[in-house]
A = this chain, B = another copy of it.
Amino acid sequence: MADPNRSRSTRPQRQRPTMDDVAAVAGVSRGTVSRVLNGGHNVSGPALEAVERAIRKTGYVVNQHARSLVTQRSDSVAFILSEPQDRLFEDPNFNNLLRGCTQVLAEHDITLLLTVAGTSEDRKRIGRWVTAGHVDGALVVSNHLGSPLLDELKGRGLPFVVCGRPLGHEREVSYVAADDRDGARQMVTYLRSRGHQKIGIIAGPLDTSGGVDRLAGYRDVVTDATPAMIEGGDYSQASGEAAMERLLRASPDLDAVFVCSDLMAVGAISYLQRAGRSVPGDIAIAGFDDSKVATTTSPSLTTIRQPFNRVSQEMVRLLLAHIAGEEHAAVILPTELIIRESA
A63 in contact with B113 (CB, 8 Å): no
A223 contacts partner chain B, Cβ-Cβ < 8 Å: no
Which of the four size classes fits the interface of chain A? 35 or more
Point out residues on A near B: beta carbons under 8 Å: 1-8, 10-14, 16, 37-39, 41, 59, 61-66, 68-69, 71-76, 85-86, 88-89, 92, 94-95, 98-99, 102, 106, 108-111, 113-116, 121-122, 125-126, 128-129, 131-134, 155-157, 323-325
Min C-beta distance of A250 to chain B, whole Å: 26
For the complex of A and B, 7 pairs with smallest distance between CB atoms: A4-B39, A64-B132, A114-B114, A4-B38, A65-B68, A11-B325, A65-B69
10 extra A-B contacts, CB within 8 A, seeds A16-B157, A111-B129: A1-B38, A11-B325, A59-B156, A61-B156, A63-B133, A64-B132, A102-B122, A109-B125, A113-B113, A114-B115
Q: Is the CB of B109 within 8 A of A2?
A: yes
Q: Is A72 in contact with B109, judged by CB distance below 8 angstroms?
A: no
The interface residues of chain B lying within 8 Å CB-to-CB of A157 are 14, 16
Residues in B whose Cβ lies below 8 Å from that of A116: 98, 102, 114
14 contacts across the A-B interface (CB closer than 8 A)? A1-B38, A3-B108, A4-B38, A6-B109, A10-B324, A10-B325, A64-B129, A65-B74, A69-B69, A76-B129, A89-B89, A106-B121, A106-B125, A114-B114
